[in-house]
Structure 1
């Protein structure tokens, strides 16, 4: 497998970016907090992880990085890196253990302290309301397949933002709707682990609907700087064969165009509706105007590219079988190809096709690396090279007039990497999952140097 060349320092400088450009880092609740603490209810990740075969070694987030108890030191790491912002998520099950009804005050108190802790350290809090944690009680009644859950989600969003909304710099309704929808309900790789095109199609509509209801609830509270975070890949056909071209167009439509179409054009891509329309919930068209309610910004998560060819498809299948192929580019420990140019292309395409002058933020970008703690240090020069190449794409986008306002590195620390357990390390800070000791890696030190340079 080709690997990324090592690089000891960033070649870009903070001074090349606009003065008001924001550098931050991102995490998510279930991956770092510890779901067994503080009166947190069960989420579908707790139950999914408890089913043999779903997660490597049946690991889970019950303790994770013990951030619930170690949050002060973790925020010190954000501050000491010179980062201006921290993107975190709240756990629905921690705030509302049953998903609706009674609020766990201890859970809200935790996030209240967390936000105040950021502000005390000069860190701008950026809140994400849903990073893949559906309370198990709601999953039991269908989760995102059930339209009623969209109302419960709006109630949850209102409960959280009534408490925190006056002090956070931005609020995102969802992180990565594609993962919530297709990766979790069609491919079955994430909780709830379904492989059902009807379920995925319903979720593909009810998640945007829940987003719109949460936006309306927060607007009613007078809150501003509201957005959503979507994930994107640079998708191309593997070759010029008609099968590859067709499969890549469908993959790109589902992955990149579906949610943007609903959010910014009040319509889903017609070519994808032709394929899955019979599985969409009845009357879905009537929701589209609400789904396209104005936003204040869009978050973009980008990691890699996809080269698509067509696999064998039985007659009558709704979707062509899409086969992801690897090219000759270096790859990360996730076996994802490193293709920085794709970030620049995605940013320009989004601006030109959907968002115009709407502010954009890169809300996740980073890499899993085979990091080893040796003599108290982690020399992750590959991560420095990866980030440096993507920072350059961000600079080029700004030079083209793209309204890119922020860049959040994924992730602050090594954590529970969902179905891959604790094997894949994305952090700029190494975590020993036995002692929970934090050790800043070479990438952390290099970024701190870059951000502190005049």
Structure 2
């Protein structure tokens, strides 16, 4: 199995990159990093496989130069990383950790020295524990605290970034973590989730305004999308899939680009929104320059008769699955790239900011064969190519992820990396997908 695409298949200037996140690779034990909700969540029995955490992770804090050399050697154009709020401001407010600022300074300079474009994301789920103590994303004041964090970190590195985003995956920050309870802080409460869904977007808007005030441009937001397939053709199944799509996909796009939340979702949870929430849309809809699309899979949705919102079950689908038990459905990526452009962003540049798959890769004789990942990448890059042919302004594709890393509540089992990491020795071994991509990008 080989990579079957090259640069020549895409418009001039199209970027190929890789993405990571701070807590998953850096090591929170290092450099004066403060405690985050993920340290607390992982320390609570039953939340994370084997109680594993990001204390050391891939030790990217010390091994970043080696990792950046891997990006450079692969021929990739761009690197998307996140900054840790807890590393920069250990209590979330007030005192700044200079070691943290110096670290991100080194990262940006190290990328530029290698001619790699730095794409920074302010927040990839590392909420400082002290902010969670004050209500976290349920507290409206978090929008101002987050804007303050944006001013501190971007005041240091914003002048050298190619692009910056506010949030990675608002759905995960709010719904996965406050309604489903699968991620930190592990809450299962519809009112908490609804408040979080609004406050994260308010914080987004305020951070965009703050970065504009610093003279920054090329600003965006990264959202995740899942294609919702009804289990059958009945009206009930169609409605269930539509509501799933509303919560997952249309809510966040609607707030940022349409100054409105989808009516079908508001009809169900609108009573939990803050009073006069509509007054915040002018801030939420602060203009952005691009949209990041994270896409992995689809869900098959069936109605249930529980009488409890959101009135559906997720059914196992028939398609091939990754180690995450996620179906491989590249058609969904094409759908979101064309649909988001048509219905919301209307000509703004779109980047595939995450796409990839987990497997159980092992090193054998110094090599890691991962033909299934190569096939996955081929299928999804083909969907990107078709979306461009159909008129969607897709400007780049970032693989998730550069390294095998801490996969949140699933610990270190699920490996998404182009590069294998031995979590005992921390040795890096490029996989077949990395080597295939390296060869493809020089063509």
TM over 0.5: yes
Displacement of 1:327 in angstroms is: 2.2
- Does structure 1 retain, via aligned residues, the 8 Å contact 2:370–2:431? yes
Describe how 1:92-107 pairs up with structure 2 within 5 A: 92-107=85-100
Match of 1:366 in 2: 356
Q: Is the 8 A contact 2:338 2:391 kept in 1?
A: no
After the TM superposition, list the runs of 4 or more consecutive aligned residues in structure 1 that deviate by more than 4 angstroms. Answer: none
The residue matched to 1:436 in structure 2 has which SS?
A: coil
The answer on 1:435 being equivalent to 2:431 is no
Partner SS for 1:201: helix
* TM-score relative to the length of structure 1: 0.97
User: Contact 1:364/1:408 (CA < 8 Å) preserved in 2?
Assistant: yes
Q: Which residue of 1 is the match for residue 303 of structure 2?
A: 310
CA deviation profile, 1:296-347 (whole Å, cap 9, x unmatched): 0000000001110012313xx3x23321122221110000000111110111
Within 5 Å, give how 1:221-370 maps onto structure 2: 221-314=214-307, 317=308, 319-370=309-360
Q: Distance in 1 between matches of 2:410 and 2:131?
A: 25
* Alignment partners' CA distance in 2, 1:320 and 1:42: 34
Q: How many Å separate the matches in 1 of 2:225 and 2:332?
A: 9
Aligned to 1:79: 72
CA–CA distance in structure 1, aligned partners of residues 234 and 204 of structure 2: 38
Query: Which of residues 52, 55, 72 in structure 2 aligns to 1:59?
Result: 52
Distance in 2, Cα, partners of 1:373 & 1:19: 36
Aligned to 1:142: 135
CA distance in 1, matches of 2:174, 2:312: 17
Equivalent residue pairs, number: 443
- Residue segments in structure 2 that go unaligned for 5+ positions in a row: none
Normalising by structure 2, report the TM-score.
0.99
Write the deviation string for residues 169-217 of structure 1: whole angstroms up to 9, x where unpaired: 1000000000001100000000000000000000010000000000111
Structure 2 residue corresponding to 1:198, chosen from 180, 191, 195: 191
Q: Is 1:128 aligned to residue 121 of structure 2?
A: yes
Distance in 2 (CA, whole Å) between partners of 1:442 and 1:292 is 42
Q: Structure 1 stretch 367-376 or stretch 134-143: which is displaced more?
A: 367-376
SS of residue matched to 1:165: helix
- For 1:388, which of 378, 381, 387 is the aligned residue? 378
2 CA distance for matches of 1:434 and 1:426?
17
